[in-house]
A = this chain, B = another copy of it.
Amino acid sequence: MGGDHGPSVVIPAAAIALVRHPQMRFIIVGDETTIRAELAAHPALADKIEIIHTDVAVAMDAKPSQALRQGRWKSSMWLAIQSVRDGGATAVVSAGNTGALMVMAKFCLKSIKGVERPAIAAIWPTIDAECIVLDVGANVGATSRQIVEFALMGAAMARALFGMKAPSVGLLNIGVEEIKGVEEIRDAAAVLKEAPLPLRYHGFVEGDDIGRGTVDVVVTDGFTGNIALKTAEGTAKQIGEYLRAALGRSLLARLGAVLAQGALRALKDKMDPRQLNGGIFLGLNGIVIKSHGGTDATGFACAIDLAYEMAASRVVEQLGNDVSHFHTKLELEGAA
């Protein structure tokens, strides 16, 4: 029921995702009448779907604490998360209220043992490939311990999802010299440099290193990460506008654009924010994917794909193991 469009986006998106992953099954939680009306147009979904009916939906502008108080046990968001906890579903995908989704997911699924704060990770396109950036908005601010945990979680995700043995990890900062930035980041750097973790600690990286692909995992606090992500999205949109305007200005340019239309369409697809739709909640006992609230069926289907890949690559298990090894080592060192 979440996002700007509810079932009218979610149901067609499920149909798109089903074509790509025919073994997928869906539990759709929400108002049954609305859902059934949408399903009529997608007969392929008929025997792939279970509906859990509820009248209660979390409002997009509800405060997280209020959403938890009013929506617990009964809202569509809660029941969808609960289906992951109870094993009926492997992952939950929602276009609803981000803060409410995080609070409910924490309350229902609980954090993985040893994780102080779950984070939201984004897959960020680079010149040649992709990297993982976290936290992009679960928290405002982060302690050095939380930054180290984010690094560990991001690396676990890269290990599982990208099949890397020791992903490179950088801490987002305003300079690469050791003296730069705030204390929390410098302290986290000191831990990451020394600790025997399943990652290659690269050092500090700057804003332009993200898209350049300098490292596989970029770690930052949720405030900075969210602003960096949205700034990049805004810049991509802005340049798209420039390009459109430039190519429409003269007859010659328009003719050139027609000849190059295949290439320009490929570029447009590459820059399409829907292709990388989906914030990944990391550090919970289950897979939770947050889709953009305003996305369409194509975008929501990408968020479903992401949930599928996260499940198939067993990220949650990888993450749990890595965090538990790290803490065991710290305890052994503490005891020694």
A residues with a Cβ closer than 8 A to B are 61, 63, 125-127, 137, 140-141, 172, 174, 177, 179, 181-182, 206-212, 220, 222-224, 226-239, 241-243, 246-247, 249-250, 252-253, 255-264, 266-267, 270-271
**CA separation between A231 and B229, bound complex, in Å?**
8
**Which residues of chain B are within 8 angstroms of A210 by Cβ–Cβ distance?**
231, 234
**CA separation between A241 and B243, bound complex, in Å?**
14
Contacts A258-B256, A266-B246 known; A172 to B271 CB distance under 8 Å? Answer: no
- The reply to whether B230 and A232 form a contact with Cβ atoms under 8 Å apart is no
**Which residues of chain B are within 8 angstroms of A63 by Cβ–Cβ distance?**
179
- The reply to whether B182 and A141 form a contact with Cβ atoms under 8 Å apart is yes
**Which residues of chain B are within 8 angstroms of A253 by Cβ–Cβ distance?**
259-260, 262-263
Minimum C-beta distance from A13 to chain B (A): 23
Identify the 7 closest CB pairs spanning chains A and B, nearest first: A256-B260, A207-B230, A208-B234, A256-B259, A207-B231, A253-B263, A211-B238
- The reply to whether A206 and B230 form a contact with Cβ atoms under 8 Å apart is yes
- The reply to whether B239 and A236 form a contact with Cβ atoms under 8 Å apart is yes
Looking at A125, A177, A228, A235, the one whose CB has the most chain B CB atoms below 10 A away is: A235
What is the chain B residue whose CB lies nearest that of A209?
B234
**Which residues of chain B are within 8 angstroms of A262 by Cβ–Cβ distance?**
250, 252-253
What 4 new A-B contacts, CB under 8 Å, besides A207-B232, A208-B233, A243-B267?
A137-B174, A223-B224, A224-B224, A256-B256
**Which residues of chain B are within 8 angstroms of A255 by Cβ–Cβ distance?**
256, 259-260
Contacts A127-B241, A174-B223, A223-B174 known; A260 to B234 CB distance under 8 Å? Answer: no
30 contacts between A and B (CB under 8 A): A125-B238, A137-B174, A182-B223, A206-B226, A207-B226, A207-B229, A208-B230, A208-B233, A210-B231, A211-B237, A211-B238, A220-B227, A223-B224, A224-B224, A227-B228, A231-B231, A232-B234, A232-B235, A236-B239, A242-B267, A250-B263, A252-B259, A252-B263, A253-B262, A253-B263, A255-B259, A256-B256, A256-B260, A256-B263, A257-B260
What is the chain B residue whose CB lies nearest that of A234?
B208
**Which residues of chain B are within 8 angstroms of A224 by Cβ–Cβ distance?**
223-224, 227
